[in-house]
Structure 1
Amino acid sequence: MGIVSEEEAIDELQKLINQVEGPLKKTFEKVHQGYLRENLSRFLKARDWNVSKAHTMLLDCLRWRVDSEIDSILSKPIVPSELYRDVRDSQLIGMSGYTREGLPVFAIGVGLSTFDKASVHYYVQSHIQINEYRDRVLLPSMSKKNGRPITTCVKVLDMTGLKLSALSQIKLVTIISTIDDLNYPEKTNTYYVVNAPYIFSACWKVVKPLLHERTTKKVHVLSGSGKDELLKIMDYTSLPHFCRRGSSGSSHHTQSVDCFSVDHPFHQQLYSYVKHHYETQGQGEPAKQGSFHVGFPEPGADGVQIVKTIESEMHNLENRNGLGKPVDDRKVSP
């Protein structure tokens, strides 16, 4: 008998996943944090509500978590603190606040991230720690505060500084995005793209047709810094620092704190949380330098095609640009 509703699909997947035991069951509890049906729904959405495919995806995710010891990653600080500062300076991500509906607002400096101050393993470790802190600390806390399940976030992508040289970072970005696609599906409600230069517009034009409609509907390219549009869903205090310029009405506000900085309250709280959990495990020795190695999943055929398309388009832009004005200096509107 075919599945005729989303609720029935969730019921079917729940029956299947109830059969898992041992380490898989334990790590799944870390995933759903008491919001079982909402999290089963995420995997079903990622597989177009095909129960069998969603079941396979979820089992693969749970095995990855067990094999890579993801449950303990929030007790593995990146040390020394100077190395963590280097990671933060070159992998620009932070949390600036919450939407009026209670969703965490994550800011990502796509254009200015250099990923050149640490090994790939530290960047992956840091990214997963932020994911796990979001899912195991922030979202459950906001769910309780708001009296309803809050299981997603919004992301504001700052394209300032995006250049053709970003081609060298595609491999690392692909690793991180593949980890998210396979193991943290449907965790982002909406992507807002701001400060987009011409190079982004050109790449988005060729990549958009390759993406699932479910994904493209989430992406909103905003004009300029996107401030006016973002203020419709969040207060000024939750705007990422790079969105607070431009438009009227900001002169009476104080200068915002850079939410990418290691000194921002979000990163201080996250780092303190990880250090505390390391220390409370009864470790006799100080944490030693050494990245937390995680298995890197192979990107699917669609992911490979998207990367090749981006590489091809960026090479075309480079060839067309010649000795003219740098294409990454030209701003575009949505």
Structure 2
Amino acid sequence: QVQSAPVWQSSVGYPLAARRPDRWAIVAHGRRATVINTASKTGDTVLSAVAEAVVSKEAGELRQRIGALAEERGVHFSEADLGRFLRMAKYDVDRAAQTATDYVQWRTTPQYGVESIDHIDVANVANEMRLGKAYVMPVLSPEGRPIIIFHARLHEPTAPTYDADEAMRFIIYTMDQGVAKMQPGVTQMDFVLDLKGMGMGNVDYAFIKQFIGVLLNRYPERLGRALLLHSPMFFHACWPIIKKMLNPETAEKFIFASSPEDLAQYIPLDRLPASVGGTSNFVISTAWPPTPLM
């Protein structure tokens, strides 16, 4: 919970906002409160910065609750990871522990178990990878977040070679590539969802619902923003259906952009490929075998 309030002095006696109380806020997290500068752009998000800076009682309790299973299954939780699960659960330790437990069990299942991208068998996502419909850019957003591009027109659920499980494994693989590019202190990634050229045949509600479930429950608090580019007229009738699958906090992170100029408000065009109106000379390779992530 974030509450803006005039803060005249920190707990250690430093004057903070005698002239600009609007720039400061009290952030309550569990039984603690931290004074932060809401105008700062150095962190990934205000709450993630707080979560990483403060080892709260709730984080310690969460680690104690899930530690044995996580160690047994070989799944590592950093302090930032604990913070993500706690923020998702609004610092309800019981809910966070259940979601984290479910994550560990899901992460180590044969179907989607990929503890790191080094261990996934790329042959199991070969058809999806050859399409080039989703990939991680080699550069980062201004906030230091990995950028994932997704071309909706290349998602063809009626194609003879389409396999729903492979499609989901590939999305997981791609998001794991994004996580692998995160620098210390960064916990989120940005999506650019290119809707140009898509038709109703590309709208796959079953896949969308499954993906949203994975995003919310398996990658909690990983989404920085999702930019929806070049949405066709019919998609605006689809959006209310999709939006209902999201929680309100996540829905607010989806932003419609009608042009590359709109995109540039969030990500400079020289960090985006020409396929979405950017000026970067990066082109995703669909050659096989794939080029390792650098």
Residue type at the aligned position of 1:222? A
Q: 1:48 to 1:110 in 2, by over 3 A?
A: farther
Structure 2 CA distance for aligned equivalents of residues 19 and 185 of structure 1: 18
Residue type at the aligned position of 1:152? Q
Per the TM alignment, residue 79 of structure 1 is displaced from its structure 2 partner at its CA by 2.8
> C-alpha offsets along residues 213-267 of structure 1, whole Å, 9 cap, x if unaligned?
201210110123xx2233344343311333326xxxxxxx6x73443x4259xx5
Aligned to 1:197: 232
Q: 1:49 to 1:28 in 2, by over 3 A?
A: farther
Higher helix share: 1
Asked if the contact 2:135/2:149 (under 8 Å) is kept, the reply is yes
Per the TM alignment, residue 63 of structure 1 is displaced from its structure 2 partner at its CA by 1.8
Q: C-alpha root-mean-square deviation of aligned residues, in Å?
A: 3.3
TM-score by length of 2: 0.69
Higher strand share: 2
Aligned to 1:129: 173
Of the candidates 20, 42, 60, which is equivalent to residue 84 of structure 2?
42
Stretches of structure 1 that go unaligned for 5 or more consecutive residues are 144-148, 246-252, 274-334
Q: 1:205 to 1:118 in 2, by over 3 A?
A: closer
> Which of structures 1 and 2 has the larger relative contact order (alpha carbons within 8 angstroms, sep 6+)?
1
Aligned to 1:184: 219
TM-score by length of 1: 0.62
Structure 1 CA distance for aligned equivalents of residues 164 and 268 of structure 2: 35
Q: How does 1:262-277 map to 2 (within 5 A)?
A: 262-263=286-287, 268-270=291-293
Asked if the contact 1:10/1:41 (under 8 Å) is kept, the reply is no
Structure 1 CA distance for aligned equivalents of residues 130 and 220 of structure 2: 27
In the alignment, does 2:271 pair up with 1:238?
yes
Q: How does 1:1-334 map to 2 (within 5 A)?
A: 3-5=30-32, 10-22=56-68, 24-25=70-71, 29-30=75-76, 32=77, 35-36=78-79, 38-68=80-110, 69-71=113-115, 74-79=118-123, 84=126, 86-90=127-131, 92-96=133-137, 97-115=139-157, 116=159, 117-135=161-179, 137-139=180-182, 142-143=183-184, 149-167=185-203, 169-208=204-243, 211-224=246-259, 227-244=260-277, 256-259=281-284, 261-263=285-287, 268-270=291-293
> C-alpha offsets along residues 173-209 of structure 1, whole Å, 9 cap, x if unaligned?
3333322222111211001010111111122245436
Structure 2 CA distance for aligned equivalents of residues 133 and 18 of structure 1: 29
User: Percent identity among equivalent residues?
Assistant: 17
Per the TM alignment, residue 24 of structure 1 is displaced from its structure 2 partner at its CA by 1.5
Structure 1 CA distance for aligned equivalents of residues 91 and 55 of structure 2: 7
Per the TM alignment, residue 56 of structure 1 is displaced from its structure 2 partner at its CA by 0.9
Aligned to 1:313: none
Q: 1:242 to 1:27 in 2, by over 3 A?
A: farther
Q: 1:256 to 1:91 in 2, by over 3 A?
A: closer
Structure 2 CA distance for aligned equivalents of residues 232 and 207 of structure 1: 24
Structure 2 CA distance for aligned equivalents of residues 67 and 17 of structure 1: 21
Per the TM alignment, residue 268 of structure 1 is displaced from its structure 2 partner at its CA by 1.5
Residue type at the aligned position of 1:150? V
Aligned to 1:291: none
> C-alpha offsets along residues 112-142 of structure 1, whole Å, 9 cap, x if unaligned?
322433423322222222222332x311xx2
Q: Tell me, what secondary structure is at the counterpart of 1:67?
A: coil
Q: Tell me, what secondary structure is at the counterpart of 1:75?
A: coil
Structure 2 CA distance for aligned equivalents of residues 125 and 209 of structure 1: 24
> C-alpha offsets along residues 16-62 of structure 1, whole Å, 9 cap, x if unaligned?
322444551365753x4xx41x2222222322332221111111111
Asked if the contact 1:9/1:51 (under 8 Å) is kept, the reply is no
Structure 2 CA distance for aligned equivalents of residues 219 and 173 of structure 1: 14
Aligned to 2:8: none
